[in-house]
Amino acid sequence: MKENETIKSDHRAILDMVEANSSVLDLGCGDGDLLELLMLKKNVRGQGIEIDEQAIYRCVAKGLSVLHGDIDTGLSEYKDNAFDYVILNQSLQQLKHVETVLFDALRVGKKVIVGFPNFAYCRARLRLFFRGRVPITASLPYTWYETPNLHFLSTLDFLDYCKEKKIKVERKVYLAADKRILILPNFFANIGIFLISK
Amino acid sequence: MTKIGVGIVETKYFTFANKPDEFVLESKEKLSPVTIAYETYGALNKEKSNAVLILHALSGDAHAAGFHKGEDKPGWWDNMIGPGRAFDTDKYFVICSNVLSGCRGSTGPASYNPKTNKPYALDFPIVSIGDMVSAQKALIDYLGIDKLLTVVGGSMGGMQVLSWLIKYPQNIRSAIPIATALRHTPQQIAFDEVGRQAIMADPDWNSGNYYEGNSPDRGLAVARMIGHITYMSDISMTEKFGRQKKDNKQPFKFTADFEVEGYLRYRGDNFVKRFDANSYLYITKAMDNFDASEKKPFHESLSGKSVKVLVIAFKSDWLYPAYQSKEIVKACKYAGIETSYCEIDSTYGHDAFLLEIQEETHLISHFLKSVSQKRGKA
């Protein structure tokens, strides 16, 4: 079992949002660190979907159930409310069809947890404003020519969107440098994590 | 993978449905008696909870691992079965049996029909994938195993895995279908039909009655050659043979000049030494007739079952393309079954399930570990 110190702060925030003994679908689960953590600490029934073949091998080595495939086409076969939680952690901004996947996630999961890098983070603003360069920050570490991100949004953009689409925002967690941000989060946080439902 | 496998092994035989009992097939036709050839490796534990059933493909047999006395060729999946291998015989009790209608020790068209005291030939009833599985279930019962840790197989073996999921889900804890399909497409049926036609066009086939004379070796060899083409890929053939010629001699008209020709001929000629042409007809027909959604949609068969599934496909497999494996995955998702799926990036084509040992070993060994542990937790 992992020690608390080594748990990434976004994983810890998600761990807090998930109830014990629930079922979880992690979209873009990567190496399966978050799912493994949820299974160990919250005894969840976990299922991952991941596009990278090598990541599949690492997930399977952790004893996880994981499907090799594309999130953009991966949700349609699931029944309504098939999972207690659907997690889109650091994968929302890389989707081709954000809206389709988000609404399918809200259909398949009773609740959805979304985590993404905040484009309006202060350091990103400074880099863009003073240096005239596209932001490269801890949560947005890629150069323009190698980024897998297709969508750039701030935490306020996301909240506006939820309001417009009548998506309930049940919990909001803002993070920067492993700390919770409570004041002016759209300025000081580089990661936003939201628990949403229909 | 360790170098030392299971060592010297022996095929055993289990006979059931002795008179007055009969084995009733899905077609309602009856067979009596039925013999199933099988091999086992490793030891069954006290709880009888560590048994793995391996299901072979079209041309396979019960000899999956180790060596028969005096032979230098190991079983067909030897590099997957043994101490420290994917199916670790230090942990698991591994069983492999020859399918019903086969020709490697199990009852099939070449077996003696007790009613006529001659080989069945075409009097042998049409057998389904489900019938093969029912015969395996009889063997498992005889071995005293109520619940298998897993059933696993590639190609036609994968169809048997799906059939186990449909017919006996309460008797398995997990299932591993590899490079297989819920049903054959017209293309797959077409290749099988060409193989069958090659056999039936051989004058020695004699409507299946050849057991006292010459067997239809030419026809069966051609069927096998067609099969081998579909098991490889464009890339794997180019890598293996290129346009290499076997020698630089002035070619005689239509000899096997290219290496690929020689290879196919060699494979065809070898196959006829160990395979019965009528079995080839019956088994390919069983594959063509198989449809996992025949009685009800496959996902309904899975619904509510507590079984874990690992589906494996290969990128260059054009005989059983990955999209067919994804259809199995879709059904599992719809049924809410815990499922893992991996499409291995291989260039070997359909043969990959016999060749991509490293990736399969990684996936299967960890999967089996998690299935075993799940039981420990419960």
Residue A68 contacts B where some CB pair is shorter than 8 Å? yes
Q: Which of B285, B317, B340 lies at the terminal end of a domain, its last residue?
A: B285
For residues A64 and A53, what is the distance between their CA atoms, to the nearest angstrom? 14
For B79-128, the pLDDT digits (tens) are: 999 999 999 999 999 999 999 999 999 999 999 999 999 999 999 999 99
| Structural domains in chain A (count) | 1
> Which residue out of A36, A54, A56 would a mutagenesis test of the B interface target, given it has the greatest number of B Cβ atoms within 10 Å?
A56
Residue at A172 is within a domain: yes
The terminus-to-terminus CA distance of chain B in angstroms comes to 31
Shared-domain flag, residues B269 and B362: no
Beta carbons of B341 and A67 less than 8 Å apart: yes
pLDDT at A5: 52
Shared-domain flag, residues B236 and B301: no
Residue at A35 is within a domain: yes
Q: Which of B257, B285, B313 lies at the terminal end of a domain, its last residue?
A: B285
DSSP, collapsed to helix, strand or coil, labels residue B65 as: coil
Residue at A144 is within a domain: no
| Chain B residues lying within 8 Å of A65, measured CB to CB | 308, 338-340
Write the CATH number for B21.
Answer: 3.40.50.1820
> Which residue out of A27, A49, A60, A70 would a mutagenesis test of the B interface target, given it has the greatest number of B Cβ atoms within 10 Å?
A60
Residue at B122 is within a domain: yes
Residue at B4 is within a domain: no
Residue at B251 is within a domain: yes
| Chain A residues lying within 8 Å of B342, measured CB to CB | 53, 56-57, 60, 68
> How are the residues of chain B apportioned to helix, strand and coil, as percentages rounded to the nearest 5?
40, 15, 40
Burial class (CB in 10 A: 0-12, 13-18, 19+), B203: exposed
DSSP, collapsed to helix, strand or coil, labels residue B270 as: helix
Residue at A132 is within a domain: no
Catalytic residue ranges of B: 155, 317, 350
Q: CB of B66 within 8 A of CB of B5? A: yes
Looking at residue B262, its amino acid is: G
Comparing B4 with B190, the larger pLDDT belongs to B190
> Which residue out of B333, B356, B357 would a mutagenesis test of the A interface target, given it has the greatest number of A Cβ atoms within 10 Å?
B333
Domain boundaries, position A63: 4-119+152-197
Residue at A138 is within a domain: no
Shared-domain flag, residues B235 and B365: no
Write the CATH number for A77.
Answer: 3.40.50.150
Write the CATH number for B243.
Answer: 1.10.1740.110
Shared-domain flag, residues B309 and B324: yes
Mean pLDDT, residues B11-31 taken together: 97
Report the predicted TM-score, pTM, of the whole model to 2 decimal places.
Answer: 0.95
Shared-domain flag, residues B166 and B235: no
Domain boundaries, position B165: 12-184+290-377
Pick the residue from chain A with its C-alpha nearest to B369. Answer: A63
Nearest to B334 among A63, A68, A79 (CB): A79
Q: CB of A46 within 8 A of CB of A38? A: yes
For residues A5 and A171, what is the distance between their CA atoms, to the nearest angstrom? 24
pLDDT at B121: 98
> How are the residues of chain A apportioned to helix, strand and coil, as percentages rounded to the nearest 5?
35, 25, 40
Residue at A61 is within a domain: yes
pLDDT at B1: 46
Q: Which of B285, B311, B344 lies at the terminal end of a domain, its last residue?
A: B285
CA neighbor of B171 nearest in space, from B196, B197, B143, B199: B143
How close B245 gets to chain A, by Cα (Å)?
37
Nearest to B333 among A59, A66, A77 (CB): A77
How many interchain CB pairs under 8 A, A with B? 53
Pick the residue from chain A with its C-alpha nearest to B328. Answer: A77
CA neighbor of B1 nearest in space, from B72, B94, B81, B73: B81
Nearest to A63 among B326, B343, B366 (CB): B366
- pLDDT per residue, tens digit, chain A (198 aa), is 444 457 899 999 999 999 999 999 999 999 999 999 999 999 999 999 999 999 999 999 999 999 999 998 889 999 999 999 999 999 999 999 999 999 999 999 999 999 999 999 999 999 999 999 999 998 999 999 999 999 999 999 999 999 999 999 999 999 998 899 999 999 999 999 999 999
Comparing B378 with A161, the larger pLDDT belongs to A161
